[in-house]
Amino acid sequence: MSFYRLLLPGFVLISILVLASPNSRAAEQSGGLPDAPGKDLLMSKCFQCHSEGMWKDQRQDRRGWEGTLYRMVGRGALWSEDEINAMASYLATLPAQETKAK
């Protein structure tokens, strides 16, 4: 057996683990977000870099979220217009984070 054939199974296993980790992280972090159309898309596109607090700390309408998402496209995010519309619609439905009284 060649050296490369011995390395191939290890490489495949590591690749699978690396690709699976953002999704499991997103599932853990999204416990407080309500289920609705656009949630899965948001989790797959945004939770790789951002946490749930990102959306709970900001309260914007659909148009405001569209602007935010298009700024992310300007920074390199690869999203279609339909994906942006779905995520903006979902984010606009999130309740404002409650502030705790002192």
CA pair distance 90, 98, nearest whole angstrom: 19
H helices of the chain, in order, are 3-29, 39-46, 53-57, 62-74, 81-92
* Chain centre to alpha carbon of residue 33: 12
Q: What is the value of pTM for the model shown?
A: 0.63
Question: How do residues 12-34 score in pLDDT, each as one tens digit?
Answer: 545 554 444 444 444 444 457 88
pLDDT tens profile 45-102: 888 888 877 777 788 899 999 999 999 999 999 999 999 999 999 999 887 654 444 4
